[in-house]
Structure 1
Amino acid sequence: MSTGVSFSELVDGFQQLGLDQTSSVLVHSSLSSFGYVDGGAEAVCRALTATCGTVMMPSGTWDLTGIPAPPGLVRPHNAYWTAESWIDFDERLSQATAFHPDLPVDRWLGRIPDVFRQTSAPVRGDHPLFALQAAGPEAERLIAAQRLDWPLGPIEALDGDILLIGVGHTSNTTIHLAEQYLNRSNFYRYAKTADGVWAEFPNVSGESHRFDAIEPLVRSATREVRIGQARVRRIPKDAVLTATRDLILADPAALLCTDDPACRCAAALAQRLAVV
C-alpha cells in the first residue's frame, strides 16, 4: 500500500485553504516538498485545477533562450554580463534556442510547471524569457496582459491569491511587481527570438534571495496547511503588494542584500535611489 500523498489529500488540503472554483491563484511550487505524491506532478496539477477556477504558473525558458548583452551595450544599473566581442556574442547566440511556445519550462522553476504545460492545456504567454501560463476561465484574460515590455502583466491582472507550495517568498514573483511599481528591479535582458535574431527586453526582475523577510508583514493575511511534508500557504496578492510597497517606501533597500556590491540587489537599489 502506498504511503504517499494522494490526489484526495491534495484536494482536501487546497480546500482547507478556502480555495474553490471561484479562486484564481498564481502557484509557485516544489514537488519534492510533499515527500512522495501518488501520481507525481500530474496529480498536483489535476488537484489544483479540480479545486481552483483559474491556475497560473511560471513557464519561463531563460536557460534555453537567454544570451548575454551584446558588446558595447551597457545600460546603467543593469547588473548583467556582456559578451566580450561580437564573435563571442554570435557564438552565444548560435548556441541558444530560439523561443517557441513548445519549449520546456526552466528546470529551476520546479517539475510542476512543466508538467502543467504538458497536461493542463494552459494558455501560455510568448515572452521569450519570462512567459507565464494559465488554465481556467480567466486564463485568456490573464495571459493577454503579458507584453514583451511588461512581463509581469498577468500578475498585475490577477484578482486572487499567491499559492506557495513548499517554497518560500524567495519564489514569490509578486514582490517583484511591487518593486517595479516603485522603479526598482527593472532590468534589461536579452534572448534569441529566431535563427540569427535577438532582442532586448525591459522590466525583467532581479534577485529575490532576501524576500522571506516579508513574511511577518503578511502573516496575518496568510492561510496555511500542511499537505504531506509540504508547507502550503495562500496569501492574497494585494497583501503582498501592500506589504512590499510599505517596506520599500520606508527603506529603499528593503528585501535586498546590502553586503555584496556585485549582486543585482545593489543595482536594484541604485534604480530606486535614482527616482527618490
Structure 2
Amino acid sequence: MPAPLPTGPLVTRASLACDLRALGVEAGEILLVHSSLSSLGWVNGGQAAVVQALLDALGDDGTLVVPAHSGDLTDPALWSDPPVPADWWETVRATMPGYDPRTTPSRSVGVIPEAVRSWPGALRSAHPQTSFAALGPRAAEIVEGHAPDCRLGERSPLARLEERGARVLMLGAGYGACTGFHLAEYRVPHRTEDAGRPGPAGWEHVGEVAISADRFDELGTAFERDVPVVTGRVGAAQTRLFPLADAVAYAQKWLPAHRPPRP
C-alpha cells in the first residue's frame, strides 16, 4: 500500500519570508525565535529553509536569536524525558562530556535552533545548559558575557535582548517555550537550587535561581488577553509577535500573584 501523500500546506523559503513580513517582522530588528518546524506544514528544504526565510525577512541588518539549550548537561537524577536508572547516575555524572559552544548540540528546543547554532557565522553564548545562538551584526553583543551561574537572568542574553528592544516570535510554539518569562523569575521572590553540570575538574555544584515553565501557558493566555500581541499564520503555524520587554514586565506582576515560589 503506497504511503499517503502529505496534506501540506506546501511551504517554501519565499512563502515563509512573505508570511513573516506580512505578520510584521521588520528588516533590521532583533528577533528571538521559539519555533516548531512540524507546525508550519510541508516545508520544502526543512529547517534550513526556515532559517533562510527568517534571515530574508530580517535583512542584512537584522539579528536572529534562538535558544540553543543543552538540557542533557544536567544532573541525571532530575531527568524525566526519558529518565535513566538510579544506579547509572554516578557514572553518567563522571563521564558526561563538558560543554563546547562550537560542538555541543542543542537539545529539546527543536531542529530550527540547532540549524541556527550550526549555521556559518553563528555565535553562541557560554552557559553550558541555557546558551543562545545568534546570527547577524548584533550577535556578539547579545551572546557575550553569559555568566556561568546565571542561566536566564540579568547576566544572560535575555537581559541583553530586553535592553536592545528585541521582539519575540513564537513560530508555532506555545507560551510554555517562552524563555522571556524566565527572566521575570529572577526579578520576583524566588528560591535557589543546585544546577549541577560537568566542568573542567569534574562534576560541579552550582547554586542557581530555580526556574520552571510551570503555568507558563496560563501566563501566556493572560498576557495575550491584556497586552497587544500580533497574531497570524506563518505557513500553517499559529504565530505570535510581541516585544520581549512587554512579556517580562507582565510576568513580573503575574508570577508572584499566581505562582508563588515553593518553600
TM range (shorter): 0.7 to 0.9
User: Relative to 1, partners in 2 of residues 1:235 and 1:173: Cα closer, same or farther, differing over 3 Å?
Assistant: same
Go from structure 1 to structure 2 and tell me whether the alpha carbon gap of 1:237 and 1:36 turns closer, same or farther (over 3 Å shift). Answer: same
**Aligned-residue CA RMSD in angstroms?**
2.7
Instruction: Go from structure 1 to structure 2 and tell me whether the alpha carbon gap of 1:126 and 1:270 turns closer, same or farther (over 3 Å shift).
Output: same
**1:142-199 deviations in whole A, cap 9, x for unaligned?**
11141112222111111211111111110001101101111336433111124x6122
> Which of 225, 248, 258 matches 2:232?
225
Query: Which residue in the other structure is 2:128 paired with?
Result: 128
Residues 1:186 and 1:28: Cα distance change in structure 2 (over 3 Å)? farther
How far did residue 3 of structure 1 move? 5.3
How far residue 68 of structure 1 moved from its aligned partner, in angstroms, is 4.8
Summarize the alignment of residues 182-221 of structure 1 with structure 2, pairs less than 5 Å apart.
Answer: 182-184=188-190, 186-194=192-200, 197-203=202-208, 205-214=210-219, 215-219=221-225, 220-221=227-228
- Taking the TM superposition and a 5 Å limit, the aligned residue runs for 1:235-250 are 235-249=242-256
- Distance (whole Å) between structure 1 residues aligned to residue 236 and residue 89 of structure 2: 45
Deviation, structure 1 residue 31: 0.4
Identify the residue that residue 144 of structure 1 maps to in structure 2.
Answer: 144
- Following superposition, the deviation at residue 35 of structure 1 comes to 1.7
The gaps in structure 1 that reach 5 residues or longer are: 70-78, 257-267, 272-276
Partner of 1:57: 66
Distance (whole Å) between structure 2 residues aligned to residue 134 and residue 15 of structure 1: 20
Distance 1:204 1:32, change over 3 A: farther
Q: Aligned with 2:199: secondary structure?
A: strand
Q: 1:117 to 1:177 in 2, by over 3 A?
A: same
Helix, strand or coil at the partner of 1:235 = strand
Residue identity in the other structure for 1:15 = R
Describe how 1:38-49 pairs up with structure 2 within 5 A: 38-49=44-55
Q: Match for 2:38: what amino acid?
A: S
| Counterpart-to-counterpart distance in 1, 2:15 and 2:191 | 38
Task: Quickly say closer, same or farther: Cα 1:191–1:5, change in 2 above 3 A.
Answer: same
Match status 1:67 vs 2:75 = yes
For residues 115 and 80 of structure 1, the distance between their equivalents in structure 2, rounded to whole angstroms, comes to 25
Tell me the matched-pair count: 241
Indicate the SS of the match to 2:205: strand
Of 8, 22, 28 in structure 1, the residue corresponding to residue 14 of structure 2 is 8
How far does residue 57 in structure 1 lie from its aligned partner after superposition? 0.7
Counterparts of 1:122 and 1:213, CA distance in 2: 33
Once residues 9 and 204 of structure 1 are traced to their aligned partners in structure 2, the CA distance between those partners, rounded to angstroms, is 41
Task: Tell me the TM-score normalized by structure 1.
Answer: 0.78
TM-score, normalized by length of structure 2? 0.82
Q: Distance in 2 between matches of 1:110 and 1:30?
A: 6
Q: In the TM superposition, what is the alpha-carbon distance from 1:80 to its structure 2 partner?
A: 9.2
Distance change in 2, residues 1:7/1:204 (3 Å): farther
Which residue of 13, 21, 25 maps to 2:27? 21
Displacement of 1:94 in angstroms is 3.0
SS at structure 1 position matched to 2:118: helix
Identity of aligned residues (%): 26
